[in-house]
Amino acid sequence: MLKAILNYQEIDRKLYQLERELAGSAERKKYAKLKKYMETASEKLDALDAKAEALKAELTTLEEKYAITAAALEEFDHLEELVENGGADLSFYKKKAMMHLDRMKKLKADIAALEDAVKATDKEYRELKAEVISKQAEYKTAKEEYNVLKESKEGEKAAIEAELKKAAVGIDANVLTVYKTKRKEKIFPVYSQLYSGRCSCCSMEPPLAAQNKLEGGATIECDHCHRILYK
């Protein structure tokens, strides 16, 4: 069984190298970079749009408060009449009028700051949108170039996969499942020889009790790199 899975791994090594070649290609790097930019930019555009809407809603609320305060202040336009009719102290009304006036000044400053924030957010959104549009053609070209490269390797990939299918015959299904799971976790080689009492991939030394199990084709898992060790 060990010999069969090691043979499977040697064939799989060709597929692993092909995957590495594609992953390290200039075409894929350019495509991946632009793809990430487009995704990030899209998220940022959504965030800016939501921010602008929130700022506009806040601005509307402040403008409503300003209008209410301004209306309240108008009631003090004729202080003398209020005093004569109500018999109250003039200073009381003046103090109350000043409170409304101060509130209006603060609201006006807050409104101005919010208006600037809305304009800045809108500007940032428009600039980013224009940049995204200009990058779309570049992204499309990069994607096409990477697809052409992948397609050029399809024949080689199919041949290796056919070899793997033949090599898998006779290998225990559970053993193959474990192998494929680790392979998906980007562990390669999956099986590593114990050399001088250490994992030949990460150089960690398994406990002696575990090493003693490596007789007669048995295997253990490396506690450090999680490869399957054999002797």
Could you read off the pLDDT tens digit of each residue along the chain, which spans 231 residues?
Answer: 789 999 999 999 999 999 999 999 999 999 999 999 999 999 999 999 999 999 999 989 988 988 888 887 776 666 566 555 555 566 766 777 788 788 888 888 989 999 999 999 999 999 999 999 999 999 999 999 999 999 999 999 999 999 999 999 989 999 999 999 999 999 999 999 998 889 999 999 998 888 888 877 789 999 999 999 998
Task: Report the CATH number at residue 149.
Answer: 1.10.287
188/85 same-domain check: no
- 9 φ, ψ to 5°? -65, -35
Same domain? For 152 and 189 the reply is no
Domain termination residue (choose one: 159, 182, 200): 159
Structural domain containing residue 221: 170-230
Query: Alpha-carbon distance 216 to 178, whole Å?
Result: 20
Question: Do 198 and 88 share a structural domain?
Answer: no
Report yes or no on 30 lying in a domain. yes
- Structural domain contains residue 13: yes
Say if residue 37 is in the same domain as residue 124: yes
- End residue of a domain, out of 159, 183, 213: 159
Domain's final residue, options 129, 159, 189: 159
Domain annotation covers residue 8: yes
* 60 and 147 within one domain: yes
Same domain (yes/no): 84, 197: no
Q: Are 151 and 175 found together in one domain?
A: no
**Rounded Cα gap, residues 231 and 213, in angstroms:** 10
Kindly state whether residue 165 falls inside one of the protein's structural domains: no
Residues 18 and 77 in one domain: yes
Same domain flag for 50 and 136: yes
If asked whether residues 122 and 202 sit together in one domain, one would say no
Residue 141 lies in a domain: yes
**What are the b/e assignments for 27-65, b being 16+ CB within 10 Å?**
bbebbeebeeeeeeeeeeeeebeebbeebbeebeebeee
Closest CA to 210 of 1, 218, 192, 176: 218
pLDDT in the model for residue 100: 79
Helix (H), strand (E), coil (C) string for 12-74: HHHHHHHHHHHHCCHHHHHHHHHHHHHHHHHHHHHHHHHHHHHHHHHHHHHHHHHHHHHHHHH
pLDDT given for residue 84 in this prediction: 58
d(CA 156, CA 91): 94
**Domain total for the chain?**
2
What CA–CA distances, in Å, run from 208 to 39, 204, 226?
A: 50, 12, 17
**Shared-domain flag, residues 8 and 102:** yes
Domain annotation covers residue 164: no
**17 and 125 together in one domain:** yes
> Are 192 and 199 a contacting pair, CB within 8 Å?
yes
